[in-house]
Amino acid sequence: MTQKSPLTEEVAGNPVAVLASGGLDSCVLIGELLSAQVVVHPIYVRGGLSWESTEQDHLHEFLRRIAKPGLQPVQFLDLPVTDLYGAHWSVTGRQVPDADSPDSAVYLPGRNVLLLAKALLWCHVHDVPAVALATLKGNPFPDATPKFFKAYQEAVNQAVGGNVRILRPYATLSKTEVMQRGRGLPLQWSFSCIQPVRGRHCGRCNKCAERRGAFANASLPDETEYDAEEPCTA
């Protein structure tokens, strides 16, 4: 990675928390920050979704492989959503959006509302001045707009008398641009699947299709282990 971290000046030598799902984008972000010698606190919020145990295993392995002095232990925070989502596919693991489904099919209602509530408060309690997330350019969901992030940051800070910032260093970048920033990282240990099979990416779901495309569009080798070599299409 030869690019300058997009957060180097914003964090100004301060520690930063990163919402770490274990996905490609958040893994690249953590790798960039560590390369810039920033102290990084990965935060993983557990909601009870069907893929989380496999996702956590991948995140642990990715972080082990990129470990540097600035990397702090993962903070696991619990915020169950099963009472909210009920029989939603993300909880049951049934009727998961496949490779042919539109991106809107994988929308999780209020996802950033939930994740940031815990992350912002953790930062406030532990004197970490900022939390970063790897939202990309063109994210179509209503809880990923600049207006939302600004209002949410202000509301939470008002509630606790704090001053924690939400940082979105990849907000002007495409998926391909972010992937290229992650060249050289062990991205095969990131995790993008919503229906894992025996601890591996299924290779059939919407997110696996997106993952394959991300590697191809960035001209990077995809060393991910998929349960299905090719996606199933209708």
Position 3 confidence tier, pLDDT thresholds 50, 70, 90: low
- Average pLDDT over every residue of 65-81: 96
Cβ within 8 Å of residue 196, ≥6 positions away: 51, 54, 55, 202
pLDDT at 165: 97
Q: What confidence tens digit (pLDDT) does each residue in 19-63 have? A: 999 999 999 999 999 999 999 999 999 999 999 999 999 999 999
- Average pLDDT over every residue of 131-143: 90
Q: How far is the C-alpha of 231 from the C-alpha of 167, rounded, in Å?
A: 34
The full set of domains in the chain, from first to last, is 13-89+110-184 (3.40.50.620)
pLDDT at 10 over 80: no
Least confident residue range of 69-78, 85-94, 122-131: 85-94
CA nearest neighbour of 130 among 4, 8, 1: 8
> What's the CA angle centered on 45, arms 39 and 50, to 5 degrees?
135
Encoding tokens for residue 36? 């810039």
Averaged pLDDT score across all residues of the chain = 92
pLDDT at 5: 59
Least confident residue range of 8-22, 77-91, 135-149: 8-22
Q: How far is the C-alpha of 95 from the C-alpha of 196, rounded, in Å?
A: 13
